[in-house]
Structure 1
Amino acid sequence: MNENEHGGFFAKARLDEDPRGRVTGLSVRRAGVDSVPSSLAELRDLRALDLSYNDVGTLPESLGTLPALTELRLDALGLSSLPASLRALTGLEVLSLYKNRLTEAPSWLPELTGLRTLNLADNELTSLPSGLSGLKHLHTLDLGHNRLPELPPDLGELPSLDRYLYLSDNALRSVPRSLCRLSRLRYLNITDNRLTRLPDEFGALAALRELRLYHNELAELPDSFGALHSLREAHLMGNRLRSLPDTLDGLRELRELRLMDNEVTALPPSIGALRRLRHLDLRNNQLRELPDAVAGLTELTHLDLRNNRLTRLPDALATLPALEKLDLRWNVLDSWPAWLDDLELRGCAVLT
């Protein structure tokens, strides 16, 4: 193999070898190469290949003839298309195509049936190929920062998708009901889209621990939202929510609830059942009062009520034993209750 070919590609490469001296890993990440030699195909034992962050633009067809390859990272290469030969890499487990110029995902992508992690984020995708449900081992899928107006229905038929699903910064107006069949999914991010509602079956995402839905156009949450019994973080800021479902008492594992920059006028009494809640952010809403049920928030440490329309505070706030910070600025309180001084003496920072 000629190490001087293609501007010293192999001279710039970092190699991993097994005990027998066989090259099993090769990286030219950020190495300043401008082309990829066809002779890479000679590395028959190569398992991991990282060509990321180089000004390459195109890839040789010979990449599809690396029989042992399980990890292929092609981030930020300026790619607008992929060699069709890559469809032969059926042993691939990790494929990353982050930050390229792809306008469509290749139709043969579902043929890579061994994939566990697929990253197509930060491209220019407007559609996805049919048949993605064939990726039976996929546990992480990143489709964020594209131009997708809709999702294929079979996205909900990925039985192993249990770690991460990123759909942020697309043009989505709705979520297919089939997505709610991802009953093992633990992290879902659909921020910065155009969602106006969630499916009624949304609560079927029973394993969900972290949900990011901020910067959409949601006016309400389905009643089934309270069935997300494993949920620990809910980031819902920057929507048009006017109210919350009465089923909040089902969110028994919730630690963070971020609702700033909405239009919420009142909280349901069920908010008091969130015994493990620590952070509650309600700034920039339209709250006029709080329910006495907030006395049940015994683990709450931070409560942000800035810029609402509160005229009074419930005495129940004085009984919260873990409260460390209470922000009341820019409200219209008729008077300041005396127990605010007691909170401060106890070590709670009260901002008025």
Structure 2
Amino acid sequence: MKHTLNLWRQELGEVPESVWRQTDLGVLILADNGLTSLSPDIGQLHRLKTLDLGHNALTSVPEELGELTGLSDCLYLHDNQLSRIPDSLGNLTGLRYLNVGENPLTTLPEALGRMSGLIEFRAQHARLTTLPDSMGRLRSLRELWLRGNAIESLPSSTANLHELRHLDLRENSLTEVPEPLAGLPRLRHIDLRSNHLGRLPDWLTLMPSLEKLDLRWNRVDPSLPLIGELARLGCVVLT
């Protein structure tokens, strides 16, 4: 059984030193505490499986976070003031869920591609314009949530995400459906609401698993023959 320490919304301001001495912790929840910094001593918690640092005011996280190689369930870094993610996070090769959304991030590190265990990655409401090429190495990724950025294109390596099922690209700056998606065999849901799309590529009808394509609040003509063809193939198209 995982040893859990839940300090959610305790108005801590800073983490008590005694926390870092609890090296048997499996789950540590420090969300919503007004934290502005973290001690490098966090790297001592080698048994952690889940770490929640969301809803704080962190401007950085220590490189020692990458020493928590036992993290396998979840790492929440969302809703802070992070302008960068440390390269050391690439050491967390067993982590399945990572949320870095709601931070002023303009880029993501190439080291992200080393996190080969990721199944779900969230970077919503940041300031990203693109993704690192290394994203294509996340061969286990099933869900990618990127709503509310300024993404104009996806790297060609996205074509390697063969396990991807759900892609959320709402409220970005796309002018066309990203071509690297064309060959993704398991992609079921694509959310492209509130972009700048005007036309649709023919290859959409060749996607074998596509079940739902959301195109609302774009400039796509709902009378396009391609939309009718997608509907006949069993895909729900929202315009």
Q: TM-score, normalised by structure 2?
A: 0.92
In 2, are the aligned partners of 1:244 and 1:267 still within 8 Å (CA)? no
Structure 2 gaps of 5+ residues are: none
For residues 342 and 112 of structure 1, what CA distance do their matches in structure 2 show?
59
User: Structure 1 residue 151 and structure 2 residue 64: aligned?
Assistant: no
8 Å Cα contact 2:66-2:89 kept in structure 1: yes
1:109 correspondence with 2:19: yes
Residue of structure 1 in register with 2:164 after alignment: 254
Find 2:47's aligned residue among 122, 126, 137. 137
- Change in 2 beyond 3 A, CA 1:339/1:204: closer
Match of 1:181 among 91, 107, 111: 91
% identity of equivalent residues: 46
What is the one-letter code of the residue matched to 2:194?
N
Structure ID, larger Rg = 1
1:164 aligns with 2:51: no
Give the stretch that moved more between structures: 294-303 or 153-162.
294-303
Cα distance change on mapping 1:183 and 1:202 into 2, 3 Å: same
Superposed CA offset, 1:129-174 (max 9, x none) = 1221111111110011111111101101112101000111111111
Q: Quote the Cα distance in structure 1 between the aligned partners of 2:90 and 2:216.
A: 34
Partner of 1:214: 124
SS at match of 2:181: helix
For residues 154 and 225 of structure 2, what CA distance do their matches in structure 1 show?
A: 30
Aligned 8 A contact 2:40 2:63 in 1:
no
Q: Tell me what 2:106 maps to.
A: 196
List per-residue Cα deviations over 1:202-237 (Å, max 9, x = no partner).
111100001111010111100111111100100100
Q: How far apart, CA to CA, are the structure 2 residues paired with 1:218 and 1:341?
A: 33
Partner of 1:336 in structure 2?
A: 223
> How many Å apart are 1:350 and its aligned residue?
5.1
Please tell me the root mean square deviation across aligned C-alpha atoms, in Å: 2.1
Relative to structure 1, the CA distance from residue 141 to residue 244 in structure 2 (aligned partners, 3 Å threshold; closer, same or farther) is same
Local SS of the residue matching 1:116? strand
Change (3 A) 1:292 1:150: same
Partner of 2:146: 236
Superposed counterparts of 1:29-178, under 5 Å: 93-178=3-88
The answer to whether the 8 A contact 1:274-1:296 is kept is: no
2:223 aligned partner, one-letter code = W
Cα deviation for residue 255 of structure 1 reads 0.5
Tell me the secondary structure at the aligned position of residue 135 of structure 2.
helix
- SS where residue 25 of structure 2 aligns? coil
Q: Which stretch shifts more, 128-137 or 141-150?
A: 128-137
Structure-2 separation of matches of 1:272 and 1:198: 24
Q: CA deviation at 1:306?
A: 1.6
CA contact (8 A) 1:248 1:273 kept: no
Counterpart residue identity of residue 199, structure 2: E
Instruction: Tell me, in whole angstroms, the C-alpha distance in 2 between the residues paired with 1:270 and 1:348.
Output: 19
1:295 and 2:205 matched: yes
Amino acid corresponding to residue 34 of structure 2 in structure 1: E
Q: Distance in 1 between matches of 2:166 and 2:234?
A: 22
